[in-house]
Amino acid sequence: MSRRRSPKKPNVKRAPTGPSTERLMVPDEQLVAKLFRSFNDGDFEIAAACALELCDQYSDHAIGWKSLGTILNIQGKHAQAAEMMQKALDISPSDYELHNNLGLAQQSLGELADAEASYRKAIELKPDFAAGYNNLGNAHNLLGRSSQAEQSYRSAIDLRPDYVEAHNNLGTVLQDTARLEASELSFRKAISFDPAYARAHSNLGISLVALGRTVEAEESYRQAIQLDSNLSDAYNNLGNLLIKLGRVDEAIAAISEAVRLNPELAPAHNNLGLAVKELGWFKEARLCFERAMGLRSDYHEAFSNMLFVLNYDDQLSSSDLYKEYEAYGAWAASRVKHRFDQGGYKSGADRRLKVGYSSPDFRGHVCRFFMEPLFSSHDHDQFELFAYSNAQSTDQHTDRMRKYFDHWVDVTQLTDDQMAQRIYDDQLDILVDMAGHTTGNRLGVFAMRPAPIQVASNMGYGYTTGLREIDYLIGDENLTPRGCEAFFSEQLWRIPAPSCAYRPPVERVPDVDKLPALTKGYVTFGSLARTLRFNESVFKVWKEILDRVPDSRLRLDQRLFAAEGPREFFWTRLEKIGISRARVDLTYSTHHWAAYNEIDVTLDPWPHNGGTTTIESLWMGVPVLSKRDRPSVGLIGAAYLMPLGLDEWVVNSESEYIETAVAKATNLGELNGLRNCLRQKIASSPIVDAETVTRNVEAAYKSMVAQYGR
């Protein structure tokens, strides 16, 4: 039977009776015709009743059991459907459709090995059964066997070249294995055979996003929605893209529609949390992530996203925040089925040590400005380096970074179990996490302890992971000062400040321009920090500064402000605090470096300081005023400013922040002098001394190995 339109759910109130030798052997043709007619018309109440009657009257004939099983499958009662299919198979074991339908029920029940066997039996009985190959591919896909899934889909297409669903499914496998151009071709092939196939349009959009063709991707998503206004995945995918484009208000609307259409779509709840966080709606974001985790108990990404967002919530104390990370650590540990035994590890600080780095950011990501100085300066005579790359898209930066490593392992297609086994087999001494709870992290691997010594770097995240299985977090006296140990699951290992080096970009960076206030006649305070770093406490302090410095202005520059909706939202938010929109510029500079030449003083937010934007501001000659807050995300500003000798730009309270900003803004001569020498100051500072920082990190690694087991 094939479903022609959306069916009504049958209401099967009783189970059919067992076989009876007293009943007729040949089904009533009129009853069978009524069954098929009702099924094809979508009236499953009548179809189910006909099927039950056939089961009662012709219990030793397969048609009743087969029809009832099909209806129950559609109804979602897969266990009962499987039971009916098995009864039919007892009567007609050579019916390939029955084996296929049984496989569909088993697959829905999560019995994937049984489903695979059923599909194979169907194909054995009918070697040219294209649908059987397609379903077998689906089972392989769910089992994580992408190569076998691809082979099955291609077999289905060979048998039926216009098999739209198989082309679409092949596209998803190619997409999942990072063969994006090939996946695009498969989706376009599906669309060529059926231009109204909405799901293929939506899936095409995913590949186009990964290929960087966002305009085409948005068109594909919108085409999918136009074709099927109930396709929740398309709304969710569109919303996810709109977040990346900074059109957050549109993103929230699209993802909210996805949630309305399918309240059980966990990724939509997760993405909605990612969207609302950009507006500073931390409580709402948390609720979204919690709903996502409630729908998927293994939703590691949503848990990480929630922790990431909580770092910015100024209503949480350091203790409150750390409790959330402790909860994650316990959750992650409870989900581990296999921990690797490191009992046979023999410490050897005198031999060449094997060190592995796990990161999703071996690509054109801002983390490269901090990772590359370390990677490129390692002593390969003493360290054998392994890269475990989870970069979903690669570029020229990836190609360059490959050369820093002795071994490069692409883990994008490996499950956590597979990645952990690979690391264990590589017999590392130390495994280093470079991502924390950012997108693409593989903390689930670290929870299995595939390496005897596991370390967290502050380069990609800057705070604890919450995992007890990670032994150390590398910091320094400014980033992780004495007394903050209670807020980290790892043991803090301090090296001389700074604990990471910065490599200034050499391309597309303008020269430092003269102090804007000297030509504009007023001081411009500014920030290029992400909008989720802004909160009411920060804005109130900034209002006081604007009130105290006549004619001064505030410039906030972020991609979000390219869209009218977010701009209006933040202007309204600032007006409620008492900052007139006439004194605020909300801008988006496509070449962000140039924006610093319009700013006199950068104001660093809290409780999470700026990261890369702080060092970039300093490189462009713009001093940064930073307030110490929660360790360690509230001490990032201090970690950059203190090694430069800019101690007076690091304060401890809001009142000191205000007074310092006012004092600095009224001394344009001092600001201009600092602006003219800051770049050179950095160029001759420990912040860019990659060799010294790397030697300090390497010394830490050697000491960790030497202390192992003591």
Q: Which residues make Cβ contacts (< 8 Å) with residue 652, sequence separation at least 6? A: 627, 628
Q: What pLDDT score does 3 carry?
A: 31
661 and 617: one domain?
Answer: yes
pLDDT at 383: 97
- Per-position DSSP letters for 355-396, written without gaps between them: EEEEES-SSSSTTHHHHHHHHHH--TTTEEEEEEE--SS--H
Query: What tokens appear for 474 in the block?
Result: 């590398």
In which band, very low, low, confident or very high, does the pLDDT at 51 lie, cut at 50, 70 and 90? Answer: confident
118 and 194 share one domain: yes
User: Of all helices (H) and strands (E), which one includes residue 28?
Assistant: none
User: Do 49 and 31 meet the contact criterion of CB atoms below 8 Å apart?
Assistant: no
Contact, 162 vs 193, CB < 8 A? yes
Tokens 């990964």 correspond to 210
d(CA 171, CA 52): 40
Q: What CATH number is associated with residue 270?
A: 1.25.40.10
**Residue-wise DSSP of 530-596:** -GGG--HHHHHHHHHHHHHSTT-EEEEE-GGGGSHHHHHHHHHHHHHHT--GGGEEEE--SSHHHHG
Q: What pTM did the predictor assign?
A: 0.89
User: For residue 168, what are the domain limits?
Assistant: 29-240
Q: Specify whether 416 is located in the same domain as 288.
A: no
Instruction: Give the pLDDT band (50/70/90) at residue 493.
Output: very high
Q: What is the pLDDT of residues 413-437, one digit of tens each?
A: 899 999 999 999 999 999 999 999 9
Examine residue 321 and state whether it is found in any structural domain, yes or no. no
pLDDT at 23: 38
Report yes or no: 706 and 347 within 8 Å, Cβ to Cβ: yes
Q: Is 227 in the same domain as 257?
A: no
Q: What is the SS3 assignment for 651?
A: strand
In a domain, 544, yes or no: yes
pLDDT at 297 > cutoff 60: yes
Please check whether residues 550 and 412 belong to one and the same domain.
no
21 occurs within a structural domain: no
Q: Same domain, yes or no, for 523 and 646?
A: yes
Query: 166 and 249: one domain?
Result: no
Rounded percentage of the chain residues whose pLDDT exceeds 90: 82
C-beta separation of 416 from 390 below 8 A: no
Question: Are 245 and 233 within one domain?
Answer: no
Whether residue 382 has pLDDT greater than 90: yes
CB-neighbour burial class of residue 624 (10 A; exposed 0-12, middle 13-18, buried 19+): buried
Average pLDDT over residues 647-668: 98
- Given 179, 206, 240, the domain boundary residue is 240
Domain boundary among 181, 212, 240: 240
Q: Are residues 361 and 476 in the same domain?
A: yes
347 lies in a domain? no
Q: What is the structure's pLDDT at 54?
A: 77
Residue 179 has pLDDT above 50, yes or no: yes
Q: Kindly state whether residues 234 and 218 are assigned to the same domain.
A: yes
* Domain boundary pick from 184, 219, 240: 240
User: Does residue 328 fall inside a structural domain?
Assistant: no
- Going by the DSSP 8-state scheme, the letter that residue 270 receives in this structure is H
> Is residue 424 assigned to a domain?
yes
SS (H, E, C) 489-525: CCEEEECCCCCCCCCCCCCCCCCCCCCHHHHHCCCEE
44 falls in which pLDDT band (50, 70, 90)? confident
Total domain count, the chain: 4
- Whole-number pLDDT of residue 50: 78
Are the C-beta atoms of 497 and 639 separated by less than 8 Å?
Answer: yes
- For residue 30, give both structure tokens: 């009129």
Give the integer Cα–Cα distance in Å for 107 and 114: 8
Together in a domain, 234 and 247: no
Confidence of residue 187 (pLDDT cuts 50, 70, 90): very high
Q: In this predicted model, what pLDDT tens digit does every residue of 101-142 receive, in sequence order?
A: 999 999 999 999 999 999 999 999 999 999 999 999 999 999
Task: Tell whether 1 is covered by a domain.
Answer: no
Dihedral of alpha carbons 658, 659, 664, 667, sign: positive
Average pLDDT along the chain: 92
- The residue-averaged pLDDT of 98-102 equals 91
pLDDT at 76: 83
Residue 11 included in any domain: no
**pLDDT confidence of residue 137:** 97
Beta bridge partners of 667: none
Distance CA 275, CA 456 (A): 28
Two tokens at 312? 């910015």
- Would you say residue 695 has pLDDT above 70? yes
For residue 651, the domain's CATH number is: 3.40.50.2000
Q: What are phi and psi of 497, to 5 degrees?
A: -70, 145
Higher pLDDT, 523 or 87: 523
- 35 pLDDT higher than 80: no
Distance, in Å, from the CA atom of 343 to the CA atom of 299, rounded to the nearest integer, reads 31
What CATH number did the domain enclosing 401 receive? 3.40.50.11380
What H or E segment, with its residue span, contains residue 701? Answer: helix 690-707
Q: How many residues does the chain have?
A: 710
Measure the CA–CA gap between 47 and 31, rounded to whole angstroms. 10
Mean pLDDT, to the nearest integer, of 299-323?
97
Q: Both 158 and 247 in a single domain?
A: no
d(CA 41, CA 479): 68
Q: pLDDT at residue 392 above 90?
A: no
